[in-house]
């Protein structure tokens, strides 16, 4: 069942966000990029405070009482662009052992409808190149590669 996440889902949401954050921290990156302890709680709580503002999308798919997939995004204002607004997906994750069941496709179809209802014409997201599973998923979705984001560590003297 697809539905909006509520404060009652806080612990389940934190658990799934933590799964993703642990995966990111297990990747071999640049030695600096690492998600802090308790970040999942902070991240989740920030979004729950914004629910009802019309500026966030925060929904999940449940199997009975189990949260198996979620998508969290925020509206970004872009007054300098013709599009004016976009939805930026901050997190899209499916529980380990529950992938390839169409849960994320259900969420993505719903987020399309949510954006249409708000006249938002663009959805964007970022994926870490070392997260091969994510790159493969997004490359086989309706999303297209558009930006390249560069990162540099400032040398110490």
The model's pLDDT over 13-23, given as tens digits with 9 standing for 90+, comes to 999 999 999 99
* pLDDT number for residue 12: 97
Q: How far apart are the first and last CA of the chain?
A: 55
The mean per-residue pLDDT over the stretch 90-113 comes to 97
Q: Provide φ and ψ at 156, rounded to 5°.
A: -90, 145
pLDDT tens for residues 125-137? 999 999 999 999 9
97 band by pLDDT with thresholds 50, 70 and 90: very high
Residue spans of alpha helices (H) in the chain: 10-26, 39-50, 103-117, 132-139
* pLDDT number for residue 89: 98
Percent of the chain with pLDDT over 70: 100
Distance CA 46, CA 50 (A): 7
The mean per-residue pLDDT over the stretch 142-156 comes to 93
Length of the chain: 157
- Residue spans of the domains in the chain: they are 2-139
For the segment(s) 2-139, the CATH number from 3.20.20.70, 3.40.630.30, 3.40.640.10, 3.40.50.300 is: 3.40.630.30
* pLDDT number for residue 16: 97
∠ CA 132-137-141, nearest 5°, is 145
Distance CA 77, CA 86 (A): 7
Q: How far is CA 82 from the centre of its chain?
A: 24
Q: Does position 153 have pLDDT exceeding 90, yes or no?
A: yes
pLDDT tens for residues 109-129? 999 999 999 999 999 999 999
pLDDT tens for residues 21-64? 999 999 999 999 999 999 999 999 999 999 989 999 999 999 99
* pLDDT number for residue 4: 96
What sign has the CA pseudo-torsion 137, 45, 41, 149? positive
pTM score: 0.93
* pLDDT number for residue 15: 97
Q: Does position 157 have pLDDT exceeding 90, yes or no?
A: no
**2-4 and 56-63 beta bridge pairing:** antiparallel
């Amino acid at each position: 069942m697809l539905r909006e996440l509520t404060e009652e889902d806080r612990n389940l949401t934190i658990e799934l966000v933590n799964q993703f954050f642990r995966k990111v921290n297990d990747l071999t990156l640049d030695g600096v990029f690492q998600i802090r302890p308790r970040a999942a709680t902070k991240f989740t709580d920030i979004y729950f405070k914004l629910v009802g503002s019309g500026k966030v999308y925060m929904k999940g798919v449940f199997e009975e009482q189990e949260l198996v997939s979620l998508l969290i995004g925020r509206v970004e204002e872009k007054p300098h662009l013709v599009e004016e607004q976009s939805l930026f997906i901050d997190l899209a994750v499916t529980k380990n052992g529950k992938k390839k069941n169409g849960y994320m496709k259900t969420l993505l179809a719903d987020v399309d409808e949510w954006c249409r209802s708000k006249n938002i014409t663009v959805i964007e997201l970022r994926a870490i190149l070392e997260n091969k599973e994510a790159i493969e998923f997004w490359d086989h979705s309706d999303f297209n590669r558009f930006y390249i984001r560069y990162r540099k560590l400032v040398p110490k003297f």
